[in-house]
Chain A
Amino acid sequence: MTNITEKIKLSLSKRQRSEKRFKFLGFIGISFAILFLIIILYSIFSQGQSAFKSTYIELNIFFDEKIIDVEGKRDIEDIKFANFRKIITNSLDNYFPEVEKREEKRKLHEFISSSEEKNLMNLVLSDQELIGKSKQLWLLASSTIDVIHKNPEMEEIVESDRLVDDLELSWFKTFKENGNLKFGFNKNFFSKADSTEPEQAGVLGSMLGSFFTLLITLILSFPIAVAAGVFLEELAPKNRFTDFIEVNINNLAAVPSIIFGLLGLAIFLNVMHLPRSAPIVGGMVLALMTLPTIIIATRASLKAVPPSIREAAIGLGATKFQTVNHHVLPLSMPGILTGTIIGMSQALGESAPLLMIGMVAFIVDIPGSFTDSATVLPVQIYLWKSTAARGFLELTAAGVMVLLTFLILMNGLAVFVRQKFEKKW
C-alpha cells in the first residue's frame, strides 16, 4: 500500500511540472496575442485620430458685388453661377499683398480647399445682406496645409523633400503667427463620400453603402438559411442525398470569398443584368457567402435543444412543424441570432467579392437606394490606402477605426442577444 503511495508521489511532481509548463505556454500565447492587438490598435489610433480634425484658416472675406451679382438684380441663378473662387483668392491676395508673380499667386490660392466655394455660395444665398460687405471667416485649408499643420516636424525637412516649398512654408508660418490658423472638427469626414481631395473625402458614402448592402444580405440570407437549417436538421430524412448536401454546405463555408464574387459577376451581372456597383448585387453576393455560416449556426443550435423537449411536444400530439415552430426554434433562436450577427460582421469586413462586381468604383455621390452605385467601408479603406496623396494616410486609419467600431458594436450585440434571450431549463 505504501509502495503505491510512493509511486504516486513520484509521478505527481512530474505531472505538476508538465501542468506548469502547459500553463506557461498558454500564458505566452495570450501575451503575444495581446501584444499584437495593442500594436495594431496603437498604430491605427495614433494615425487615425488626426483625421477627425482639420485645419481652418481665418480670412477677411469681401463679398464683392461686382463678382457675385454683376447686374445687381439679386437673382438666385446669377448668384449660384458667380465665381466664388475669385472671392477667396482676392482675400488671400489681400492678406499677402507682396505676392505678385502669377506662379506664386497660384500656389497661394491653393491654400484654401475648393469645397469652400460652395459653402460661401450657400452662405450668401441664405443671407443676401452679406453682398457688398466684409466678414471674418474660418475657411477649410487644403490637405497639404493640413498635413504640414498636423506634422510640425515636416517644417524642418529640406525643401526638396518637403510637401511645400520655402515660400509656401513662410506663408503658412505667417498665418500661424498671426493666429489665423486653427484645428476644427472634420465635418466632411462624416458627411461626405469619397473625393480626390483628402480634406473633402468622407466615410458617410461608404457607411451607407455598407448599410444598404448588409440590409440586403440580412433580408436574403437569414430566412433562407434558417429555413434550410431547420429543414435539414428537423424534417429531412437522413439519407445519402442529405449527407451530400450537408458536406457541401460545410465546404461552402470554407470557400474563398472571392469565388462568390466571381459567381455574382457571372450570374447577377452578366446573366441577370442587374446594375453594376450596386448594393443590391453586393448584398446578394454577400448573402451567398453568409448562408453557410448561418445554416451551420442554425443546425448547431437546433441540435443543442434537448430531445426531451421534442418528445414532450410530439407525445402531446404536436405535428413536426408545431414542435419545431413552438418549441425548438424559439429555444435555439439565441444561437441562431448570434451566428447571424457573426456572419453579418464577417460580411461587413468583406471586400474581395465586392471588387468583382464593381463596388470598387470611385463614387463621389452618397448612395440613396439599393440600386445606386456605392462602395463599402473596407473597399473605401482599400481605395484610400492605394491613393498617393499624403492626406489619405490618416483617412485610411480613421476608416479602419470606423469599421472596427461597427464590428465591435455588432459583436457586442451578439453577446447581448445571447445573454438576454437564452432560456434556462
Chain B
Amino acid sequence: MVMSNSIKIKSKKISVFYGDKKALDSINLEIPEKKVTSLIGPSGCGKSTFLRCLNRMNDTIDICRIEGKILIDEKNIYEKGLDPVLLRARIGMVFQKPNPFPKSIFDNVAYGPKIHGIVNSEDELNDLVKDSLKKAGLYNEVKDRLDEPGTSLSGGQQQRLCIARAIAVSPEVILMDEPCSALDPIATAIIEELIDELAKNFTIVIVTHSMQQAARVSQQTAFFHMGNLIEVGKTEEIFSMPKQVKTQDYITGKIG
C-alpha cells in the first residue's frame, strides 16, 4: 500500500486476549499521519478493541492481555517504563456515548489542560477553552452559557463538547469509537464535517458501523472480521474493488 504521507502509527503483530478468549489475532496495520483511518466490520470483530490498544485503554481491564508492539513515531507504546498517562495526553479519545463530566461546559474543556499543567494563567486557560470549543465547532452555540452543565446540551452538542475536551490537550492522534452512533442524522453530519476539518491538524482513527460514514470521512479503511484484519487500503478502493471475498460480502451486506 502506498501512501504519500508519513506513517504515524504502526501496529506490529498485536494480539489481544480477554482471559482465554483471543479478541485480536496478530494485527499489522499502518495509520498515516493527518489522515482519517476508519475501522469497519461487524459487531464483535475487534475493531473497538484495536482502537483501545492505541491509547492503552485496555490496560484498565484486569483480564485483558496484549501481545505485540504498537509504534507511534517509531516508539513502542507498550515498552516497559512508558507511562500510559503521558500516552493518553498525546492520544485523545472520543467515546460512543457522549460522556461529558457533570460539570460546567467550561470545566469540561478545562479539565485536561488543568490536570496536565499545560496552562500557566487563568487568561491562557480561557483562551485555550475558547479555542478548543471553536475548533470543535461548538463555540457559537455555547459562548453565552459556559457555566451551564455540559450535560444540559443536546446529544450532538455533547459529543462536540467531548471532542473539544479531547483537543484541548493538543493531542497528536484522536481516536473515535463510533462517535455518531447515538446521534441523529443532522448531528452526525455536523460531526462528520468536523472530522474533515480536524484531519488537517490531527491523525484520526475512527471506528464506525456505518459504511457510508467510513466512505464519507476517511481516506484509509481497514476491515476487521472475527479478530482478524482482512483488508486495508484506500477507502475508495475498499468500497469499489475490494480484493478479499469477505470484504466484498460485508460491504454488500452479505455478512455483518
Q: Give the B-binding residues of A (Cβ under 8 A).
A: 237-238, 306, 308-319, 322, 326-327, 331, 423-425
Contact = CB atoms under 8 A, between A and B. Distances in A.
Interface size class of B (residues with CB under 8 A): 20 to 34
Interface stretch (B29-37, B92-100, B212-220): B92-100
Most buried by B among A311, A319, A322, A423: A311
A308 B60 contact: no
A308 B97 contact: yes
Contacts of B111: 313, 316, 318, 326
Nearest to A322: B115
Interface of B: 55, 57, 60, 62, 85-89, 92-93, 95, 97, 99-102, 111-112, 115-116, 151, 162, 165-166, 169
Contact of A319 (B85, B99, B162): B85
Contact of B151 (A310, A322, A327, A424): A424
Given A237-B62, A424-B151, A315 B102 contact: no
B101 A315 contact: no
Given A315-B92, A316-B111, A317-B115, A308 B151 contact: no
Given A238-B62, A308-B95, A425-B151, A314 B101 contact: no
Given A314-B57, A318-B115, A423 B102 contact: yes
Contacts of A238: 62
6 contacts: A312-B99, A312-B101, A313-B111, A314-B88, A317-B87, A326-B115
Contacts of B99: 306, 308-309, 311-312
A315 B169 CA distance: 11
A316 B162 CA distance: 10
Nearest to B108: A312
* Secondary structure dominating the interface of A: helix
Contacts of A317: 85-89, 112, 115-116, 169
Contacts of B92: 315-316
A10 to B, nearest CB: 42
B182 to A, nearest CB: 11
Contact of B162 (A237, A310, A312, A326): A312
Contacts of B116: 317
B57 A315 contact: yes
Contacts of A306: 99
A331 B99 CA distance: 14
A316 B112 CA distance: 6
Contacts of B62: 237-238
Contact of A316 (B60, B86, B102, B165): B165
B172 to A, nearest CB: 13
A424 B151 CA distance: 8
Contacts of A315: 55, 57, 88, 92-93, 95, 166
